[in-house]
Chain A
Amino acid sequence: MAFTNEQLERYSRHIILKEIGVKGQKKLMAGKVLIIGAGGLGAPAAMYLAAAGVGTIGIADADEVDLSNLQRQIIHATADVGKAKVKSAKETMEALNPDVTVNTYRTFVDSSNILDLIKDYDFIIDGTDNFPAKFLINDACVMAGKPFSHAGIIRFKGQLMTYVPRQGPCYRCVFKEPPPKDAVPTCKQAGVVGAMGGVIGSLQAMEAVKYLTGAGELLTGHLLTFDALKMEWHKIKLPANTHGCAVCGDHPTITSLIDYEQTECDGAL
């Protein structure tokens, strides 16, 4: 695969980097990333990955663009209100970079479809806003042996971690099960600063780029938290021992996917 002069120019800032270079850019162009949720996290992640030239990007979301989404979901524009989020996202990504193939899945991800959705992808980005989806994505990625980036944002706070099979704990190692319904406020009730999606969603795109190119060290075995009000980051080392985990441990007790009950705010944040 030879680069055209236009591609050399488009990807020049990547190719110049020692850690990416020609080989890394080719890996990005051959890479396949699935983004679940075209919302606050998924929007910047999808745009950066499209801009980076990731060859195939899947995007799954059942919702339509709502006016209240636009404060943070920067992949959608005012004229897109009412349009399927996956369609709006695809249009933005293709306008950004026609090199990229965008696959859209206009569906809620659940136990019946997630394994089929993730099977053709190299890396998964969890851009959802609710615990049932987060546990489902974790369990499915563990079972299918797929690496993924977990993230969550609320108010002025965000967190993320990366799971790679056999290279550290999974989301369920850290958070055993979803909190009781209504114990944790949803985005609708609590609010979130739009730029938080940009901060954390961009880091998820960064993890995907690093995973595909092999550059640097991934956020495996660590939880990174960000408090924007205090401008404080914490990189918390997670226990290396995953033997007792109900899904990725030595003797898993969770061997099939679970659809936990959804709270009312089930769109992507």
Chain B
Amino acid sequence: MAEFKIDDRVDITDVVCPTTFVKAKVALEELDDGQILEIKLNDGEPVQNVPRSIKEEGHKILKLLDNGDGTYLLIVQKVGD
């Protein structure tokens, strides 16, 4: 993960849709423009929908990493205040 300086992390594997996106959105809201959030999310519906929803909000998806255990790490850069 050395390629990104992670400013904050959030685990959304403990909630289901639509709270997954809501929890990620709340975490993003705490950050400043340009800061980077690492989101831990489950395979399946979350990994299909959360990145798309975040993109629609105007934020930048930097990377999606497969942890190999049914979870992923989504690296997002916040765009805007």
Q: Which residues of A contact B (CB under 8 A)?
A: 3, 5, 8-9, 11-13, 15-16, 18, 21-23
Chain B, 55-81, CB within 8 A of any chain A CB: 57
Asked if A12 meets B22 with Cβ closer than 8 Å, knowing A5-B14, A5-B15, the reply is yes
Q: Which residues of A contact B29 (CB under 8 A)?
A: 21-23
* Cα(A126)–Cα(B21), bound, Å: 37
Partner of B23, one of A8, A18, A21: A8
Interfacial residues of chain B within 32-52, with CB under 8 A of chain A in the complex = none
Other A-B pairs beyond A11-B22, A23-B29, 14, CB < 8 Å: A3-B26, A5-B15, A5-B23, A8-B15, A8-B22, A8-B23, A12-B18, A15-B22, A15-B26, A16-B22, A16-B25, A21-B25, A21-B29, A22-B26
Q: Could you say which of B15, B21, B26, B53 has the most chain A C-beta atoms within 10 Å of its C-beta? A: B26
Closest to B58 in A: A18
Chain A CB within 8 A of B13 CB: no
Residues of B within 8 A of A3 (CB): 26
Residues in B whose Cβ lies below 8 Å from that of A21: 25, 29
Please measure, in the bound complex, the distance between the C-alpha atom of A12 and the C-alpha atom of B17, giving whole angstroms.
Answer: 9
Residue of A nearest to B27 (CB): A22
B6 to chain A, nearest CB (A): 20
Nearest to A23 among chain B residues (CB) is: B29
Give the residues in chain A near B15, CB-CB below 8 Å. Answer: 5, 8-9
Interface flags for B1-35 (1: CB within 8 Å of A; 0: not) read: 00000000000001100110111011001000000
Place the interface of chain B in its size category.
10 to 19
Q: Which 5 A-B pairs rank lowest in CB-CB distance, beginning with the nearest? A: A22-B29, A12-B22, A15-B22, A9-B19, A8-B22
**Chain A residue with minimal CB distance to B16?**
A9
Give A95 Cβ to nearest chain B Cβ, in Å: 23
Residue of A with least CB distance to B18: A12
Closest to A6 in B: B19
A194 to B29, CA, bound (A): 41
A12 CA to B16 CA, complexed, in Å: 11
With A and B bound together, what is the CA distance between A21 and B14 in angstroms? Answer: 21
Residue pair B57, A12 in contact (C-beta under 8 Å): no
Contact partners of B21 in chain A: CB under 8 A? 16
Return the chain B residue nearest A3 by Cβ: B26
A23 to B53, CA, bound (A): 18
| Separation of A16 and B56 alpha carbons in the complex (Å) | 11
Closest Cβ–Cβ distance, residue A30 to chain B (whole Å): 16
Q: In the assembly, what is the distance between CA of A262 and CA of B18, in Å? A: 50
Q: How far is the CB of A234 from chain B (nearest CB, A)?
A: 35
A13 to B14 alpha-carbon distance, docked (Å): 18
* A/B interface sample: 24 pairs, CB < 8 A: A3-B26, A5-B15, A5-B19, A5-B23, A8-B15, A8-B19, A8-B23, A9-B15, A9-B22, A11-B22, A12-B18, A12-B22, A13-B18, A15-B22, A15-B25, A16-B18, A16-B22, A16-B25, A16-B53, A21-B29, A22-B25, A22-B26, A22-B29, A23-B29
Chain A contacts of B14 at CB under 8 A?
5
Nearest CB in chain A: distance from B25 CB, A:
6
Bound CA–CA A8/B57 (angstroms): 18
Assembled-state Cα–Cα distance A13/B17 (Å):
11
